[in-house]
Amino acid sequence: MPITPATATHSSSNGTAEAILLELVDEDGVTIGTAEKLAAHQPPGQLHRAFSVFLFDARGRLLLQRRALGKYHSPGVWSNTCCGHPYPGEAPFVAAARRTHEELGVSPSLLAEAGTVRYNHPDPASGLVEQEYNHLFVGLVQAPPAPDPQEVGATAFVTPAELKERHAADTFSSWFMTVLDAARPAIRELTGQSAGW
């Protein structure tokens, strides 16, 4: 498995390496502990806190990203605008805004909570498992993306019809439709009925 920012350790303030920890939760989303990031994704997976962001432009088009080829999990597939994991004790809203800027070089002009969804999605290609209690966010973006190539291979703004065509032709993350469907009520409220979401 390649070493990427997601699987590598990071340096603490005293120069020692620290593992990236995820917040483990129960079925109600209550924190029950922590686990190292890769260990939490080993089968059968440990239920952990995550977030998914859906950003739209002024025309109501959804910003998609294709995950970079160096990602430890689901590399090279299309997915929602941004997804990831809060640090232990970090509010999901803060983590969502932080990672959107780190991955895509943009800050949402609006970001709102859109509920939660719990799922279990194995990734056959990597053998890893997404056991997640996922906090959903929808928002608006006004600046063009400036993606970090270590995180994002490509971006695209799509209408619902274009997403349908792309979804039929390209590979998407195993969790994409689950989080999109769960966020649809908030997406419709944000974009209006005429956008077609």
Q: Is 83 a catalytic residue?
A: yes
Q: Is 165 a catalytic residue?
A: no
Distance in angstroms (rounded) separating the CA atoms of residues 25 and 132: 9
Candidates 83, 103, 130, 151; catalytic one:
83
**Burial zone of 32 (CB within 10 Å; 0-12 exposed, 13-18 middle, 19+ buried):** exposed
Candidates 23, 103, 132, 151; catalytic one:
132
List residues with catalytic annotation. Answer: 83, 132
